[in-house]
């Protein structure tokens, strides 16, 4: 959410930003907000004047009563009553206007960074850099579900009976490999100086509204019926929510956290839930990184964070690239974002395995997260990035480490988490 003062003083900048995001339908909101803001400020001024007048007259009543001038005191009391009635209406108007103003402000997108490429959707995202040589082996790499099947590692028939499409059972060595990757991702980030955290897996609606737009919530979140609770779609939601309404000491910044959680997503509007594979599912697990920092440090942290994910995948012998998200592909709260994509030797193209974003002070403004500095309190900046989301990360690993005979090579970094195993041998 933008600062109302910034919008008030820079309406053309806000309009141009809306156009860059190809959301022209939101352009009228700028004028609507300006008018609402003007009316609200006028109501507040009027309210302040009436409160001052009421206080003055109440003091007069006290003086007159002490002087036994009861009739004059009662006359002024009647005036105070009239002021109270008027003030009650004005305060109700203030509340209504403030709610309308906030609702409109919540829909206006955040100002994107000047470096963000302009484009309508993800088809216009821009490749930044490749890391590692994308190899196509001499043999045909099987579909990931078939690789897993040869190790007796996937049971979707049973999950279909218990839960429906979009769910899965991982079994045996594959289940162990899945957990090993997450454990390694956890320790990888701890070694980078991040504090490990396991957050709540459900959050209240005020936290949801603080960390994402309403449209994103509708497309992603599962709501618990009869309760003000939602299942998280990523641990970023509860990790940022942890600081809701808090004032952080400036000398504690940056706060660098890495969190594990299961994640739950409806995947509304996605390309369809896979019936056979596990690429797009309703439930997955994730190791996330979250940074809360001073505004002037956020872009430095953004560049450090995506690099951590690149380095993580390279230790697993997985070639990756970074893809700069264009303006039309950025969620409304994001200032800048890039996807980390892993090489698929089967498809001979890259696919998304993570995303790094800086949101400026948008989440902090919505949730009231501030730092206490020498010159007063200020809004912090928040950033998030995927270290590993799996089973999608598992798919990238299997495709890049499978051999022609169906065996799976275990890189050195993962062997301590796999009981020292160097190779997984197919059972079929």
Q: How confident is the model at residue 267 (pLDDT cuts 50, 70, 90)?
A: confident
Do 195 and 322 lie in one domain? The reply is: yes
Residue-level pLDDT at 58: 84
Residue 115 lies in a domain: no
Do 36 and 97 lie in one domain? The reply is: yes
325-343 per-position pLDDT tens digit: 999 999 999 999 999 999 9
Residue 111 lies in a domain: no
136-159 per-position pLDDT tens digit: 999 999 999 999 999 999 999 999
Residue-level pLDDT at 217: 83
Do 153 and 85 lie in one domain? The reply is: no
Q: How confident is the model at residue 213 (pLDDT cuts 50, 70, 90)?
A: confident
- Lowest mean pLDDT of 30-34, 53-57, 157-161, 234-238, name the range: 53-57
Residue-level pLDDT at 214: 77
Do 415 and 300 lie in one domain? The reply is: yes
CATH of the domain at 32: 1.10.287.40
Residue-level pLDDT at 2: 92
Q: How confident is the model at residue 428 (pLDDT cuts 50, 70, 90)?
A: confident
Residue 49 lies in a domain: yes
Residue-level pLDDT at 273: 56
Residue 113 lies in a domain: no
CATH of the domain at 343: 3.30.930.10
Q: Which domain holds residue 22?
A: 4-105
Do 416 and 338 lie in one domain? The reply is: yes
Q: How confident is the model at residue 67 (pLDDT cuts 50, 70, 90)?
A: confident
Do 322 and 373 lie in one domain? The reply is: yes
Residue 85 lies in a domain: yes
Assess whether pLDDT exceeds 90 at residue 294.
yes
Label each residue of the chain as H, E or C.
CCCHHHHHHCHHHHHHHHHHCCCHHHCHHHHHHHHHHHHHHHHHHHHHHHHHHHHHHHHHHHHHHHCCCHHHHHHHHHHHHHHHHHHHHHHHHHHHHHHHHHHHHCCCCCCCCCCCCCCCCHHHCEEEEEECCCCCCCCCCCCHHHHHHHCCCEEHHHHHHHCCCCCCEECHHHHHHHHHHHHHHHHHHHCCCCEEECCCCEECHHHHHHHCCHHHHHHHCEECCCCCCEECCCHHHHHHHCCCCCEEEHHHCCEEEEEEEEEECCCCCCCCCCCCCCCCCCEEEEEEEEEEECHHHHHHHHHHHHHHHHHHHHCCCCCEEEEECCHHHCCCCCCEEEEEEEEECCCCEEEEEEEEEECCCHHHHHHCCEEEECCEEEECEEEEEEEEEECHHHHHHHHHHECCCCCEECCHHHHHHHCCCCEECCCC
Do 128 and 175 lie in one domain? The reply is: yes
Residue-level pLDDT at 271: 53
Q: How many domains does the chain have?
A: 2
169-199 per-position pLDDT tens digit: 999 999 999 999 999 999 999 999 999 999 9
Do 91 and 131 lie in one domain? The reply is: no
Q: Domain ends where: 50, 77, 105?
A: 105
Residue 112 lies in a domain: no
Do 270 and 129 lie in one domain? The reply is: yes
Do 255 and 151 lie in one domain? The reply is: yes
Residue 117 lies in a domain: no
Do 150 and 98 lie in one domain? The reply is: no
Residue-level pLDDT at 81: 86
Tell me the pTM. 0.90
- The mean pLDDT of 299-306, rounded to a whole number, is 98
Assess whether pLDDT exceeds 80 at residue 269.
no
Do 42 and 173 lie in one domain? The reply is: no
- The mean pLDDT of 264-271, rounded to a whole number, is 70
Residue-level pLDDT at 274: 59
């Amino acid at each position: 959410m933008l600062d109302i003062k910034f919008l008030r003083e820079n309406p053309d900048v806000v309009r141009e930003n809306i156009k860059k995001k190809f959301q022209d339908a939101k352009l009228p909101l700028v004028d609507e907000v300006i008018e609402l803001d003007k009316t609200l400020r006028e109501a507040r001024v009027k309210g302040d004047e009436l409160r001052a007048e009421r206080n003055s007259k109440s003091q007069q009543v006290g003086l007159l009563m002490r002087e036994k001038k009861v009739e004059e005191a009662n006359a002024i009391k009647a005036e105070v009553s009239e002021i109270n009635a008027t003030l009650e209406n004005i305060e109700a108007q203030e509340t209504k206007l403030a709610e309308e103003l906030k609702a409109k402000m919540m829909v206006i997108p955040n100002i994107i960074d000047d470096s963000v490429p302009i484009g309508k959707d993800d088809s216009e995202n821009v490749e930044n850099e490749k890391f590692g040589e994308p190899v196509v082996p001499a043999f045909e790499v099987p579909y990931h579900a078939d690789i897993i099947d040869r190790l007796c590692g996937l049971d979707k028939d049973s999950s279909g009976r218990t839960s429906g499409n979009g769910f899965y059972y991982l079994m045996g060595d594959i289940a162990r490999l899945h957990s090993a990757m997450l454990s390694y991702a956890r320790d990888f980030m701890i070694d980078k100086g991040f504090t490990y955290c396991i957050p709540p897996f459900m959050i209240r609606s005020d936290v949801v509204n603080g960390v994402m737009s309403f449209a994103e919530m509708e497309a992603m979140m599962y709501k618990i019926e009869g309760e003000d609770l939602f299942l998280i779609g990523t641990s970023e939601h509860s990790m940022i929510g942890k600081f809701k309404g808090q004032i952080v000491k400036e000398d504690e910044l940056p706060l660098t956290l890495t969190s594990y959680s299961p994640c739950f997503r409806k995947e509304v509007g996605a390309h369809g839930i896979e019936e056979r594979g596990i690429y797009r599912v309703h439930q997955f697990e994730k190791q996330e990184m979250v940074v809360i920092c001073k505004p002037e440090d956020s872009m430095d942290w953004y560049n450090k964070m995506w690099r951590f994910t690149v380095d993580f995948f390279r230790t697993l012998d997985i070639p990756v690239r970074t893809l700069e998200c264009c303006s039309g592909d950025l969620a409304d709260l994001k200032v800048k974002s890039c996807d980390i994509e892993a090489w698929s030797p089967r498809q001979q193209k890259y696919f998304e395995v993570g995303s790094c974003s800086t949101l400026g002070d948008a989440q902090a403004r919505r949730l009231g997260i501030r730092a206490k500095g020498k010159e007063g309190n200020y809004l912090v900046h928040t950033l998030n990035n995927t270290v590993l989301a799996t089973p999608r990360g598992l798919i990238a690993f299997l495709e890049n480490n499978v051999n022609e005979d169906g065996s799976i090579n275990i890189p050195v970094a993962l062997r301590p988490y796999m009981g020292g195993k160097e190779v997984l041998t197919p059972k079929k």
